[in-house]
Amino acid sequence: MNKYLLGIAFLLVFFSGIPRQAFGGSWDQLSPEEQQILRQFKDRWDQMPTERQERLRRGAERWQRMTPEERKEAQERFKRWQELSPEQKEMIRKRYQEFRNLPPEEQEKIRRGSKWFRELPPEQREKLRQKWQNEEGRGFRPKWRREMEKR
């Protein structure tokens, strides 16, 4: 479970993109809740770079604000992340960076499409996945993918 909390805190911080002033404090300056969430870092906290402390602290803060259901979903996402190969993780990181480089309007368009897809019934999602895989196999590339490949 501790590995999950660490990983979830990392992913939350990595993907949050929220700028903030650096914390850079000692372990004793953390709230009891933060200490509980980050307890596996206690022995090396004071030697960590300020930037890393702040990223972990922001992740702990976000974890505290989550509902039990959101925490469960985050743990499941982290478990799936751990099961990915290094190549798959690298591809996801690359695509995420490409997404972050898109104009805000394009990002929002992708978010809306993703939300629409997630809200479909599972059978319909699977049918679309199969259709898209067949189209890609025949050389079809969606517009968003062609644009990303140009970069």
SS (H, E, C) 18-75: CCCCCCCCCHHHCCHHHHHHCHHHHHHHHHCCHHHHHHHHHHHHHHHHCCHHHHHHHH
Residues 105 and 57 in one domain: no
- At 7, is the pLDDT very low, low, confident or very high (cuts 50, 70, 90)? low
Q: What DSSP state is assigned to residue 76?
A: H
- Give the confidence band of 135 by pLDDT, cuts at 50, 70, 90: confident
Residue 10: predicted pLDDT: 55
In total, how many domains does the chain have?
Answer: 2
Whole domain around residue 119: which residue ranges?
85-151
Do 79 and 7 fall into the same domain? Answer: yes
Of 20-24, 55-59, 133-137, 147-151, minimum mean pLDDT range: 20-24
Give the model confidence (pLDDT) of 56-106 as tens digits: 999 999 999 999 999 999 999 989 999 999 999 999 999 999 989 999 999
Q: At 20, is the pLDDT very low, low, confident or very high (cuts 50, 70, 90)?
A: very low
Whether residue 71 sits in one domain with residue 128:
no
Q: Are residues 90 and 77 in the same domain?
A: no
Averaged over 24-44, what is the pLDDT?
A: 88
pLDDT at 143 over 80: no
Pairwise pLDDT comparison (145 vs 67), residue with the higher score: 67
Of 83, 107, 134, the residue at which a domain comes to its end is 83
| pLDDT for position 111 | 92
Q: Are residues 111 and 44 in the same domain?
A: no
Q: How far is CA 25 from the centre of its chain?
A: 25
**What pLDDT score was predicted for residue 136?**
67
Task: Check whether 18 has a pLDDT greater than 50.
Answer: no
Same domain (yes/no): 106, 72: no
Q: What is the DSSP string of 78-146?
A: HHHHHHS-HHHHHHHHHHHHHHHHS-HHHHHHHHHHHHHHHTS-HHHHHHHHHHHHHHHHTT---HHHH
